[in-house]
Amino acid sequence: MQTYQPTLGSESYRDVPTFGGFDIVVLGGGPAGIAAATTAAESGHSVLLIERLGFCGGAAVSGMSGTICGLYMTVADPSVAQPQQIIFGFAERMRQALEAEGGLTAPQIYGKTWVTTHDCAKYKKVATDLLRGAGVQILYHTEMVDVITEGDALVGLVLHTRSGFARVLGKRVIDASGDADAVFRMGLATTKGNNGIIQNPSMMFKIGNVDLPRYLEYWGDNTICPPKVVEKLEQRDELLRKKVWLFPTVNPGEILVNGTKITGFDGRDLDVTDPVDHSEAEQFSIYQARAFFDFLKEEIPGCENAYFIDYAQEVGVRQTRSIDGVKRLMNDDVVKARKTNDSIAKSSWPIELHYGAKPKTEWLVDDYYDVPFATLVPKQGRNVIVAGRCLSAEHEALASCRVTAQCFEYGRAAAIAADLSIREGIDFQDIDGVQILELMKTTE
C-alpha cells in the first residue's frame, strides 16, 4: 500500500479564488470521465469536468490507444464466428456516435475476439457533442493539484489554471483521472502494479500510404502479428517488443501501430507517476517508435512507401495507481469468469499484460466475468468515487478490465451512484451495488 501525506484542510485554501460550487465534479476527461460527466448532467445535476489537456478522450486520444476493446465476446475462432456484443449502455452510445461520424471501423479480428478502430479527430468531436449536449461545464488546460477536505470528506479540489490557482467545491467528486489523483491526494490507500512494477507504457503512432491489399495479403486478417513477424522481430535487437498489433483505420492507406515497449534508456522499468521517469518515457518513445517504423518499411510488404504520420500526443500509460476499494477485482475472478449480482460491466477481454518482451494474453473463451460496483468505492473517505482504470483490481485483473468499453460503463455507474448518493444523502460505501445494476438496466 502506498500512502500520501495528509492533505491540508479546507481552511488552508480559504484565500484561493473560487470557481464556484457544483453538484458533481468529474476529474479527467478520458473514456470514463466523458461517460460520467454526460450521464451525471443528463440526470439534472450541475457538472464540472476538469481536464489538464485541451480535449477529451484521455489515453484513447492523447495516447492514440486507438480501438474500442472489450465490446465483444471472446470465442475459439473468430474467423468462423460473428461478433457478439456483450456490453451496451454508454459504450454502445459512443460506438454508435463514432460510427455515425465515420470514425469507427467494422469489427476487426484481434486474437480470439474483435476490436473496432476509432479515429482520434472524430472521437474529439463526438465527445464534445455529448458533453455540450448534456450541458456539462468544462475547464480545459486545468490541472487538479490538491484536494480540500473536511474530516474524511472531500469537499472540493484545488486547480491550477493559466490564471493561477482556483478552488472548486463539489457535493460529490468522480475521480476519473486514471491515476486516482484525488483519492491519492486525500491520503487514502492505493496500490501500484505488481509490488510497484507497472505494465510497460507504449508510444502509439500512425503511418500512411500503406498498400493495404499487399499488407493484408502478407499479415492476414488478425490484427495481432503472425508468427513470421515475431521471428523477424526477434532478430532485431533494437526493438524491445516482439509481439505487436497493427490496425488499419477508417482512413485510406492508414495503419495505427501498437508496437513499442517503453523502458528507460538503460532498460529499467519506469514508474510514470515519477516525473523524471515519465519524461524519460516520452524521450525513449521517440526512438523506439522510429525504429519500429524503419522495421515496417524494410520488412513488411505494403509498407515500403509508407510515411510516418505522427506520434501520439503523449506516451500511452496503461497502469498507475489502483484504489483500495470496498471490493477488489481479483485475478481469480477474471480467470474463473466469476459472475456477481452487483455487476456494472461484463468483460470477456483477455488478460493483456504488457510485461517483458512479449505481452502475455490469457483468453477467456466463450465466457465473461462481472466487475462489481464496489470496486469503484474507496474503503475510506466520503463524497468520492472513482471511474475508469484506477478502480480497485489486482495487477493481472487490471490488465483485462482497464479497456475502454468497460471504462465507459464504469463512468456511467459512478454517475448513477453519485446521483443516488446526493438524492438520498447516503455515502458511497452504503450504496448497494444491486441497486446500481438495476438503475443501469433501466437507463440503458
Ligand X SMILES: Cc1cc2nc3c(=O)[nH]c(=O)nc-3n(C[C@H](O)[C@H](O)[C@H](O)COP(=O)(O)OP(=O)(O)OC[C@H]3O[C@@H](n4cnc5c(N)ncnc54)[C@H](O)[C@@H]3O)c2cc1C
* Positions that interact with ligand X (CB under 6 A): 27-33, 50-53, 58-60, 63, 65-70, 143-144, 176-179, 181, 202, 204, 258, 316-318, 388-389, 402-404, 407
**Which is closer to ligand X, CB of 204 or CB of 420?**
204
Closest approach of ligand X to the CB of residue 278, in Å: 12
Burial degree of 298 (CB within 10 A; 0-12, 13-18, 19+): exposed
- All three cell numbers of 87, joined, read 456490453
264 Cβ neighbours under 8 A, 6+ residues apart? 270, 277, 280, 281, 284
Helix, coil or strand: residue 246: strand
What is the Cα–Cα distance from 73 to 360, expressed in whole angstroms?
19
Between residues 134 and 214, which has the closer beta carbon with respect to ligand X? 134
What φ, ψ does residue 95 adopt, rounded to 5°? -60, -45
Give min distance, CB of 164 to ligand X, in A. Answer: 16
For residues 104 and 27, what is the distance between their CA atoms, to the nearest angstrom?
A: 27
Tell me whether residue 181 or residue 254 sits nearer to ligand X (CB atom): 181
3-class SS string, 3-35: CCCCCCEHHHHCCCCEEEEEEEEEECCCHHHHH
Between 31 and 89, CB nearer to ligand X: 31
- In whole angstroms, the minimum distance from the beta carbon of 56 to ligand X comes to 7
Question: Is 304 or 358 the residue whose CB approaches ligand X more closely?
Answer: 358
| CB of 116 closer than 8 Å to CB of 105 | yes
Give the shortest CB-424-to-ligand X separation in angstroms. 27
391 contacts: CB under 8 Å, gap ≥ 6: 322, 323, 325, 329, 371, 375, 376, 398, 401, 410
The beta-strand segments (E) located in 183-306 are 190-192, 205-208, 245-248, 255-258
Output the smallest distance, CB 135 to ligand X, in A. Answer: 20
d(CA 57, CA 67): 12
Q: Please say which residue, 68 or 131, places its beta carbon nearer to ligand X.
A: 68
CB of 136 to ligand X, least distance (A): 14
Q: Which helix (H) or strand (E) holds 439?
A: helix 433-442
Q: Least separation, in Å, of the C-beta of 109 and ligand X?
A: 14
* Least distance from ligand X to the Cβ atom of residue 113, Å: 11
Separation between Cα atoms, residue 441 and residue 188, nearest integer Å: 31
CB of 261 to ligand X, least distance (A): 10
Cell of 398: 487490471
43 vs 347 by CB, closer to ligand X: 347
Radius of gyration of the chain (CA): 21
Nearer residue to ligand X within complex by CB, 38 or 202:
202
Cβ nearer to ligand X, comparing 20 with 301: 20
